[in-house]
Amino acid sequence: MRYIIRRLLQSLIVVFGVSIVAFGMLFMTGDPTEVILGDATDRMTVSQIEEFRVKMGFDRPWYVQYASFVGNAVQGDFGYSFIRHQPAFEVITDKLPATIKLASVAFILSLVISIPLGVMSAIRPHRPLDNIATVVALAGQSIPSFWLGILLIMFFGVYLKWLPISGSGSWQHYVMPGITLAAFPIARNMRLTRSSMLDFMQKDFVRTARAKGISENRVVYAHVLRNSLMPIVTSIGLELGFLLGGSVITETIFGWPGVGREIVAAIGSKDFYVVQAGVIMLALIFAGVNLLIDLTYSLIDPRIRFGA
Amino acid sequence: MAELSLGAVSARPQQSYARRAVKRFFKRKLAVTGFVLLVAMALIVIVGPMLSPYAYDDQDFNVIGSPAPMSPEHWLGSDELGRDALTRLIYGGRISLCVGLAGAVLATIVGVLVGAVSGFYRGWTDAILMRLTDVMMSIPTLPMILLLSGLFRPGPVILVAIVGALIWMGTARLVRSQFLVLREREFVEAARALGAGNMRLMFRHILPNAIGPITVAATLAVGSAIMLESALSFLGFGIQPPVPTWGNLLNSASSWLSTAPWLAIPPGLCILVTVLAVNFVGDGLRDAMEPKE
């Protein structure tokens, strides 16, 4: 129980910190009025700008502004997008389903590919299959996702014309963005599964299991793999955060109508409130998923609740 | 007197440790491959622009208008403005590598300072610094960095600062955990008994003992920094054309994917090879410096 309370408190502090950073972004270049108005200031008189400043409340002390920012944000009010003519929060929540769908596809893809490959590698270490898989995994961790996306587009989209190169809709639209987004987690989870399996293979309880005379398959799947999955479960939280944040690049390349592309577009057009809402939403999801995973983890593994 | 003998005791095993680590490092094929690749890459980007007959923004009016394929004059072709792709690739490598290296150095310095102070002083200092680290880790890096560079329109220096400011957290956690363990060891107590101050304890006694993991983290940070800079330039928020970087070369190549695919291959391949080489070296260093593993 104490662990749960401490963990909850930590998440609260993180959310508080993120809110400060997101709020502070507006002031980083100096005058928020100029950031929001952008080039429009050229066409406005000084008194008009001043009027806008007062209307937006930028003349108040920063802590008052912060309090009202938090007060509004809690109610889902992140300001109004003058470019989209829509509340910033709505702009982001409209795009959230598309991002979550793509991230889920990539997530499932990464687990389905990485864990079996990692197990195969670990069963026969340093054999050709393992060596190939290791090199591929290293490459997968080092390939820039935007280049992988471009290669896929050139080969399957432009040259073979098998898959649509941009947009969303049919299942074919998921293939290339899904692979692009999943490449890094596939590589990482594969190496993680492999090393974790190899660690557990050395453990006494595995030797005992073998000594009892149960089949090798049962030793590998029921004894080693089940234990090896624990560290992978831990990394899943970070993974989901990565998938949601990493979607910025993938969504931009493939014209996927999600939060990431929206944020990039909003930065380009200086649509500040949308950026703020987007960053906060992504951070909240990330913190929430991690909290959930840590709590589940503490339920599965009592050592975490009582240790430390 | 006491000072002298302490120094002598700690200096000897360390030297041979370093020598043994170097030996172990060069026994690993992948690590050596990575090392050789990086040295070659560095030489090419330093010497290459001097050998090329073109400057990175020279325009060849024979091939201007749309991207031209490879030819004896332009080994990797030329872009739509008639600029030599190979020259731009090599020159872009200079910038990508420099930003990556400098960003990683900055991130390592910040990470070591935060981690050292946090792990050494513990208590409230630790709590505050670690929550700060958590916050930085929960902020989606890419949107944040895009926003910063969208606001500041960065030159290389600011870009390095932004990259460094967003990738120090892993190093900080690592250094903190090292310090938490090392600060309890007898040699720290001994140095304290001899009157060493906190600064001296932290940076002369504890830090050298954590140098192995820090080196590994710093190496791997070079990879992340290069990747981050390329992503940023690819999205159009990093270094601005006409100055080339691997990222913005890919960005401009992406408008010609169906007509000039040869422009999109080399910059990505360079990023891949560099980051792969850095990771090989990092893995090799880890094995060489922590032989227990």
Q: What is the pLDDT of residue A306?
A: 63
Across the range A51-73, mean pLDDT stands at 80
Say if the Cβ atoms of A150 and B268 lie within 8 Å.
yes
Q: What is the pLDDT of residue B116?
A: 92
pLDDT-derived band at B112, boundaries 50, 70, 90: very high
What's the one-letter identity of residue A88?
Answer: A
Q: What is the pTM of this model?
A: 0.83
SS3 category, B68:
strand
Comparing A89-98, B21-30, B96-105, B241-250, the range with the smallest average pLDDT is B21-30
Of A76, A6, A62, A63, residue with least CA distance to A32: A62
Say if the Cβ atoms of B250 and A278 lie within 8 Å.
no
Question: How many C-beta atoms lie closer than 10 Å to residue A155's C-beta?
Answer: 14
Question: How many C-beta atoms lie closer than 10 Å to residue A296's C-beta?
Answer: 12
Across the range B119-138, mean pLDDT stands at 86
Say if the Cβ atoms of A154 and B141 lie within 8 Å.
no
Which residues in chain B touch residue A260, judged by CB atoms under 8 angstroms apart? 142-143
Across the range A70-84, mean pLDDT stands at 81
CB of A10 less than 8 A from some CB of B: yes
Average pLDDT, chain A: 82
Q: What is the pLDDT of residue B113?
A: 94
Higher pLDDT, A57 or A116: A116
Q: Which residue of chain B comes nearest to A278, CA vs CA? A: B143
Average pLDDT, chain B: 83
Comparing A129-133, B5-9, B217-221, the range with the smallest average pLDDT is B5-9
Instruction: Give the tens place of pLDDT for each residue, B140-178.
Output: 777 777 777 777 777 788 889 888 988 899 899 899 988
Is the pLDDT at B6 greater than 60, yes or no? no
**Any domain includes A180:** yes
Which residues in chain A touch residue B143, judged by CB atoms under 8 angstroms apart? 245, 248, 260, 263-264, 267, 275, 278-279, 282
Say if the Cβ atoms of A249 and B276 lie within 8 Å.
no
Q: Which residue is it, tokens 């990092």?
A: B282
Q: Which residue of chain A comes nearest to B273, CA vs CA? A: A142
**Any domain includes A245:** yes
CB of A295 less than 8 A from some CB of B: no
Closest residue to A279, CB basis, from B140, B235, B268? B140
CB of B275 less than 8 A from some CB of A: yes
Say if the Cβ atoms of B235 and A249 lie within 8 Å.
yes
What is the 3 state secondary structure string of B184-216?
CCHHHHHHHHCCCCHHHHHHHHHHHHHHHHHHH
Q: What is the pLDDT of residue B14?
A: 53
Of B99, B100, B133, B98, residue with least CA distance to B114: B133
Is the pLDDT at B108 greater than 90, yes or no? yes
Beta strands A80-81 and A86-87, pairing class: antiparallel
Q: What is the pLDDT of residue A228?
A: 81
Of B83, B89, B49, B102, residue with least CA distance to B248: B89
Which residues in chain A touch residue B142, judged by CB atoms under 8 angstroms apart? 245-246, 248-249, 260
* Euclidean distance between CA atoms B212 and A155, whole angstroms: 43
* Euclidean distance between CA atoms B220 and B280, whole angstroms: 9
Say if the Cβ atoms of A283 and B146 lie within 8 Å.
no
| Paired strand residues for A80 | A87
- Take residue B65 and report the two structure tokens written for it: 């208008």
Say if the Cβ atoms of B235 and A264 lie within 8 Å.
yes
Instruction: Give the tens place of pLDDT for each residue, A152-193.
Output: 888 888 888 788 877 777 888 888 899 988 888 898 889 888
Across A48-52, A133-137, A292-296, B171-175, which has the greatest mean pLDDT?
B171-175
Instruction: Give the tens place of pLDDT for each residue, A245-298.
Output: 667 888 888 888 888 888 888 887 878 888 888 888 888 888 888 788 778 777
Question: How many C-beta atoms lie closer than 10 Å to residue B126's C-beta?
Answer: 17
Question: How many CA atoms are closer than 13 Å to the CA of B27, on its beta-carbon side?
Answer: 10
B interface mutation test: which of A136, A150, A191 has the most B CBs within 10 A? A150
Q: Are A119 and A216 in contact (CB under 8 A)?
A: no
The proportion of chain B whose per-residue pLDDT surpasses 70, expressed as a percent, equals 93
pLDDT-derived band at A308, boundaries 50, 70, 90: very low
Q: What is the pLDDT of residue B1?
A: 42
A interface mutation test: which of B138, B222, B250 has the most A CBs within 10 A? B138
CB of B211 less than 8 A from some CB of A: no
A interface mutation test: which of B128, B145, B148, B151 has the most A CBs within 10 A? B151
Is the pLDDT at A38 greater than 60, yes or no? yes
* Euclidean distance between CA atoms A294 and A276, whole angstroms: 27
Percentages helix, strand, coil for chain B (3-state, rounded to 5) are 75, 0, 25
Q: Which residue is it, tokens 């996702």?
A: A145
For residue B291, give the DSSP letter. T
Closest residue to B264, CB basis, from A29, A154, A248? A154
* Euclidean distance between CA atoms B50 and B34, whole angstroms: 25
Higher pLDDT, B63 or B126: B126
Across the range A102-119, mean pLDDT stands at 89
- Take residue A64 and report the two structure tokens written for it: 């008052």
Q: What is the pLDDT of residue A304?
A: 65
Q: Which residue of chain A comes nearest to B268, CA vs CA? A: A147
Across the range B13-40, mean pLDDT stands at 81
Q: Are A36 and A27 in contact (CB under 8 A)?
A: no
Q: Which phi and psi angles does A163 have, rounded to 5°?
A: -125, 150
For residue B153, give the DSSP letter. -
- Take residue B87 and report the two structure tokens written for it: 């020259």
Comparing A97-106, A221-230, B186-195, the range with the smallest average pLDDT is A221-230
* Euclidean distance between CA atoms A47 and B266, whole angstroms: 54
Query: Which residue blocks in chain A are alpha helix, DSSP H?
Result: 2-25, 32-37, 46-56, 62-74, 88-123, 128-142, 145-152, 172-201, 204-211, 216-218, 226-254, 259-268, 272-300, 302-306
Say if the Cβ atoms of B151 and A35 lie within 8 Å.
yes
Q: Count of domains in chain A?
A: 1
Closest residue to B140, CB basis, from A10, A14, A245? A245
Q: For residue A181, what are the domain limits?
A: 98-258
Say if the Cβ atoms of A146 and B264 lie within 8 Å.
no
Q: Which residue of chain A comes nearest to B148, CA vs CA? A: A25
Q: Are B202 and B196 in contact (CB under 8 A)?
A: no
**Any domain includes A266:** no
Q: What is the pLDDT of residue B109?
A: 95
- For B16-55+76-289, CATH number out of 3.30.420.40, 1.10.3720.10, 3.40.1190.20, 1.10.357.10 equals 1.10.3720.10
Q: What is the pLDDT of residue B172?
A: 92
Distance of residue A213 Cα from the nearest chain B Cα, in angstroms: 30
Which residues in chain B touch residue A29, judged by CB atoms under 8 angstroms apart? 151-152
CB of B52 less than 8 A from some CB of A: no
**At A111, which CATH number?**
1.10.3720.10
For residue B240, give the DSSP letter. P
Question: How many CA atoms are closer than 13 Å to the CA of A290, on its beta-carbon side?
Answer: 24
Q: Are A265 and A30 in contact (CB under 8 A)?
A: no
* Euclidean distance between CA atoms A126 and A82, whole angstroms: 59
A135-154 residues touching B, CB cutoff 8 A: 138-139, 141-147, 150-151, 153-154
* Euclidean distance between CA atoms A63 and A56, whole angstroms: 15
